[in-house]
Structure formats: C-alpha cells, structure tokens
Structure 1
Amino acid sequence: MATKPVIEIEYCPKCNWMLRAAYMAQEVLSSFTDEIHGVMLVPSEIAGRYTIRVADKEIFDRKRAGRFPEIKELKQLIRDLVAPDKSLGHSDKSPSSNI
C-alpha cells in the first residue's frame, strides 16, 4: 500500500496568513480524512509566500495565480492527485451548472 501524502501549506506569518492556512487545513482534513496522512502548516521565511504542495508537488502558488485558492478549487486540485475517483459532492459541480 502506498504511503498517504502530506499536504503542506506554506504561508507568510508576517502577512498574518496563519488563520487562512489553518482554515484551509481544516477543510482539507475534513474532506480527505482517509486519503491523506495530514496537513502541515509551514511558516515561510519569504515574505508574501502562500504555496500549497501535495507530497512535495506544488499545486498552487499565490504569487503565480495572483490570488488565493478558493476552497472548492483547492479540494479539486488535491482530489485529482490523491483520490481521483472521490466525489466531492457539491464541490464537484461547475459554477455554470444550474442543475
């Protein structure tokens, strides 16, 4: 059996982004309890950094994207790597879907 991945959220403590990182960690843990080993919050030494990695693979960078990830988007990015067949319920529906 493969080792469960660790999700890493690296955030800028000088920017006061720890609460945002903790909230995202909580959301990830509640959605992927059985699929991941855990979530690690990493205070960055680089100002303005907010980067999310799955098993050392970067999946989101705030500076490159020009914004923070939406929770729905973050869950989809993680799901696609750790549990591609997992349903995310309402988070799977596209914004343009009115069904």
Structure 2
Amino acid sequence: MADPGTCVDCIPQPGDGGVAEPQILKQHDPLDPTTFVPPTPLPGPSIIIEFCDRCRWLHRATWVSTELFLTFPTPALRAITILPLNSEETGGRFRVWLFLDGQPPSLVWDRKIEGGFPELKVLKQRIRDRIQPGKSLGHSDKHSTEQKS
C-alpha cells in the first residue's frame, strides 16, 4: 500500500536495492497540463484515452477509439488503449494522449481544460496534423483557405 503522503503523480525511479523511490515533480494542478503525468505507451504511434469510469464514459471512449482507428488504420496508428480510471483524483477525466516514437507524449485533448468533450472532427484534425500532415480527412477536414463572411 502506498504511503498516503506520497504524491500520486510522482514518477518512480529505481533506487538502491531495486526499490522504486518517487521523484517529486511540480505540484499537481488539475487544470495545468504541464503537471499531468501520462500513462505508459505501447510502441507508437499510439493513443491512450483515459476516462473516468465512475462517470460511465466507457461507451464514449470506445466510440472515439473506433472512429480514430477507422480514420487512421495501421500503420498510421499502431495501438489505441482505453484506460478506465476510478478514483477521486481522476473524477471527470477524459484525456486523449498521442505517443510518437522518440518524442515526449502529447496531450491532444483534456475535457476539463477544453471545457467539454472533443468534436470528433477537431480531435481527428489534431491527431492528423501530428501523424499524417498531408492526409485529407474529407468532409471532416478544416478549410483554412475559406474566409468567413
């Protein structure tokens, strides 16, 4: 059992005798993405969708993962993991992380920071811009050359 005084967002580092010792990071702020600790990725490019299981967002997470796989089939995306979370600290969480080999994890969406769930169009555009910049998303694509009247 973890020490109640230990920060849940500490990254364990190998210590003497093979015992993991936490390395204290910046204080966790639920609205500051620079303090978020991403989950461990599978070989990339890959996505991890973290969601609050207590909020019953499994259906939304599976729907988003299905749509992303249909838009970015292998090898564009090698894996999509849906990660249910069930604690006080993760209440209301819906985050989408992108992992690319040799790069730090990229937070593509956070429900609390963005003020809601992602429109699939926007989420696909953000991911496409990182993994396949020249790919057309068809009717879901943004048209940067259009001018608003």
Q: Give the structure-2-normalised TM-score.
A: 0.59
Matched with 2:112 is 63
Of 42, 57, 65, the match for 1:25: 65
From 33, 37, 53, the equivalent of 2:78 is 37
Give RMSD over aligned pairs.
1.3
CA distance, structure 2, for counterparts of residue 11 and residue 76 of structure 1: 21
SS of the residue corresponding to residue 21 of structure 1 reads helix
Partner secondary structure for residue 33 of structure 1: coil
Structure 1 unpaired stretches of 5+: none
5 Å matches for 1:1-99? Answer: 4-34=44-74, 35-44=76-85, 45=87, 46-55=90-99, 56-94=105-143
d(CA) in 2 for partners of 1:91, 1:36: 19
3-state SS, counterpart of residue 86 of structure 1 = coil
Q: Look up the match of 2:32.
A: none
**Residue type of the alignment partner of 1:40:** T
4+ runs of 1 displaced by more than 2 Å? none
* TM-score, length of structure 1 as denominator length: 0.87
Aligned residues between the structures: 93
| 1:83 Cα deviation after fit | 0.5
Runs of 5+ consecutive residues of structure 2 not aligned to the other structure: 1-42, 100-104
Give the structure with the higher percent helix: 1
